[in-house]
Chains A and B, each alone.
Chain A
Amino acid sequence: MTDALQRLRYRCQLHQSAGERREDTHPLTWRLHDDGTPLDLADYRARDGYAAVETVLRQQSPDDVIDTMKAANVRGRGGAGFSAGVKWSLTLRGDGVPRGYIVCNADEMEPGTFKDRLLMEQIPHLLIEGMILAAYANHARYGYIFLRGEYNEAAKSINRALAEARDAGWLGADVAGSGFDFDIALHTGAGRYICGEETALINSLEGHRANPRAKPPFPGQSGAWGKPTVVNNVETLCNVPAVMRHGADWYQGLSGHLSDDGGTKLYGVSGRVNRPGLWELPIGTPGTEVMERAGGVVDGQHLKAWLPGGGSTGFLLPEHLELGLDFDTIGQAGSRMGTGLLTVVTDQQSIVSLMRNLEQFFARESCGWCTPCRDGLPWTVRLLQALERGEGERGDLEMLDKLADDLGPGKTFCAHAPGAAMPLASALQYFRHEFEQGVRYEPGPAHADPIPVGEA
C-alpha cells in the first residue's frame, strides 16, 4: 500500500495513553499498546492474562461465577443493559440438559458505534478469556464469535489469538488442566444489521436468513440448534476476567459515586467535534466530560442535539449532557444509553435530513419478517423525504407521530422497529418546528382544482 493510501487508512485508536490507564481503573484497556498493535499471547500473559481462568476453573463452581457476576451487576454493554449475571442464572442447566453454546455478539453495525472493534483488534485474548469464563458458568461446550463480515482486521487478530490460545491449552480439551472442555470458532457474517438482534443472530449462525425468533423460549432455554445458548456483547464479555479476578466490590467501586452501575464503559464521540474518538471511563461519567475529551464541537458551530448510544436511541439536548451516562439515568431522561457512543449534531445540521438518513438505514435493514417494520419504515422514509424537500402535506407530522407509535415497543417481532421509532419520536418532540418547515401549506397543483362532486 502506498504512503498516500496508508495516510487515509482507518486505524481504531483509544485516546488515552498508557500513562493514563491503570490496572485498577481501566480493566478493559490497561494492557493496550499505545501504538495500537495487538497484544499477542506472551504480552497478555505477562500482564496477568488468563490468570482468572487459571484460578476460577480450579477453585470456583459455575454458580460461584454467576453469583459474583450478579453481585457486580455487570450490565450488558451491547445496548440493552440487562444484568449479565441474571441472564446467566436463567440458562437451562442440570441433569439431562445438553451443554449448549456461548455466543459473542460481535456484529457491531449500530450507526455511531465503534467500540468493540478496538477490543477485538487489539486485545482479542481478553475476549477469549471472558468467553471461557462465561462458558464455564453457563455449562457451554462450544463458543462462537459472531463477527460482522467487514471487520477484517478483527478477524485476523481473533484467528491468531484463537490459534495461540489453543496451542497453549487455554482452549480445547481439559482447559488449563481443569477438566473443562471448551473451544471457540470465529463465525463471520455476510452483512445485515438485524444479525445483531439476539435471536436473529442465532438464526444467522445456523445458516438461515437472519429473521428474529419469538421469545419465549429465550435462548438460554432453547437457542442455537435448540440448545441453551447465551449471547453476550464483546465489551460485556471483556469485563468478566477483571470481575472474577478482583471481585464484585472492586468492580462496583470503579464507578464510585457516579453511578449505581459498576465498572467502566468505552465511551466515544463522533460527528463534527474537534477530537472524535474513544475513551475508557467510569460508567456514569457525565456527558460534559466525554464531550470535553472530544474537544467540543468544531469552530463556528454549536451543539444542537446528541444521540447517547447509536442510531436507535432517542435524541437528547445540550442540557442533558450534565447527566451521568448510565443505563438508568439516560433511560429516565427519555432515551437509552445504548452502546454509549455519542453522535453529535450541530446547529448547522438538519434534524429532518438526519432522520431521513436514519430511517433509510432502518428501512433498508428491515428483515421483512413483520408488517409494521417492513411497510412502516419505507412509509416513514417517504414522508421524511417529502418534508426534507419542503413538499410535505398537511397531516404528515401527525402521520409520523402515528408511525412512531405503531413502530414502538411491543408491536413488532423484535427491537428493530422500536429502535427506528425512538429517534423519530424524540426528534418530533424536540424539533417539531423543523419538521413543520417542510410542510407546504400553499395549495399545490393537486389541491388547486378539486374534482367537483358527482364528476369523479
Chain B
Amino acid sequence: MEPTTTIARDGFAIEPTDRDAILRERAHYEQPQAACIEALKIIQRRHGWVPDNAIPAIADLLGIAPAAVEGVATFYSLIFRQPVGRHVILLCDSSSCFLTDYEGLRDAFIERLGIGFGQTTGDGRFTLLPVCCLGACDRGPALMIDDDTFGPVGPGDLDQLLEGYP
C-alpha cells in the first residue's frame, strides 16, 4: 500500500493522482471497502468507464477482494462497465417527467441521435441512458448531460442542447 507511482495489475494502472485521491477517501471510513464506490467513480472520471482490469487494481489498492469491488461495480447505475460516449445523456423517466411528456422528448432523442437507450452514437459523441427521478420535478421533463441538469426540455430544444456538447 506504499507505492509512490502507479498501481499496475492486469495491464491496468491507477494514475498516482487517482491513487492519492482514493486513499484520501479511504481515510474517511472505518473500513477500506467503503471507499470502493468513490474509487470506481475516480477511475471512471479519468477513463469514462470502468474497464474489467481496473477491478483487481482497485481491490489491490484498498486491500479488499476483487469480487467485492466487482459486486459493487455491477450494482450501481452510474458506474459504467462498457465504454460510453464523450457525453452521457441521462433522461429522467420518472412520474413527474412522464406526466409532462417525457415520452415525446425520449422519441425525439432516439430519432435525432439514431440510437436507443444503452447505446452510443457512431461518432462516439453521445450515450443515452434512462435515470431515476432527477429531483427536478417542478421543471419536467428534465435530463442531465454530463454534470448539467436541464428542464423543462421540449423536442424543439434538442439542437441547441446538443450543440453545447461537441
A interface with B by C-beta (< 8 Å)? 1-2, 4-5, 8-10, 12, 108-114, 116-117, 144, 148-153, 185, 187-193, 204-210, 224-225, 268-272, 276-278, 307, 311, 341, 343-345, 349, 353-354, 357-358, 360-361, 364-365, 367
Asked if A114 contacts B98 (CB within 8 A), the reply is: no
Q: Is B157 an interface residue (CB 8 A)?
A: yes
Measured CA separation A112–B161 after assembly (Å): 24
Asked if B94 contacts A111 (CB within 8 A), the reply is: yes
Q: Is B121 an interface residue (CB 8 A)?
A: no
- How many A-B residue pairs have C-beta atoms within 8 angstroms? Tell me: 174
Measured CA separation A210–B96 after assembly (Å): 25
In the complex, the 3 A-B pairs of residues with the closest C-beta atoms, listed nearest first: A190-B76, A111-B94, A191-B78
Asked if A354 contacts B95 (CB within 8 A), the reply is: yes
Asked if B138 contacts A277 (CB within 8 A), the reply is: yes
Residues of B within 8 A of A152 (CB): 147, 149
Q: CB-nearest residue of chain A relative to B149?
A: A10
Asked if B138 contacts A276 (CB within 8 A), the reply is: yes
Quick one: which of B38, B96, B150 contacts A270, CB cutoff 8 A?
B96
Measured CA separation A268–B33 after assembly (Å): 38
Residue of B135, B140, B147, B157 with highest tally of chain A CB at under 10 A: B135
Residue of A150, A192, A224, A278 with highest tally of chain B CB at under 10 A: A150
Asked if B164 contacts A112 (CB within 8 A), the reply is: no
Asked if B34 contacts A206 (CB within 8 A), the reply is: yes
Total count of chain B residues near the partner, CB < 8 A: 53
Given A191-B78, A206-B34, A311-B94, CB of A349 within 8 Å of CB of B99: yes
Q: What's the minimum C-beta distance from A20 to chain B, rounded to whole angstroms?
A: 18
Residues of A within 8 A of B150 (CB): 5, 8-10
Q: Is B142 an interface residue (CB 8 A)?
A: yes
Other 9 A-B pairs with CB < 8 A, given A1-B148, A111-B132, A361-B133: A5-B150, A111-B137, A114-B137, A150-B134, A268-B138, A276-B140, A277-B138, A343-B137, A353-B98
Residues of A within 8 A of B136 (CB): 10, 12, 114
Measured CA separation A1–B132 after assembly (Å): 25
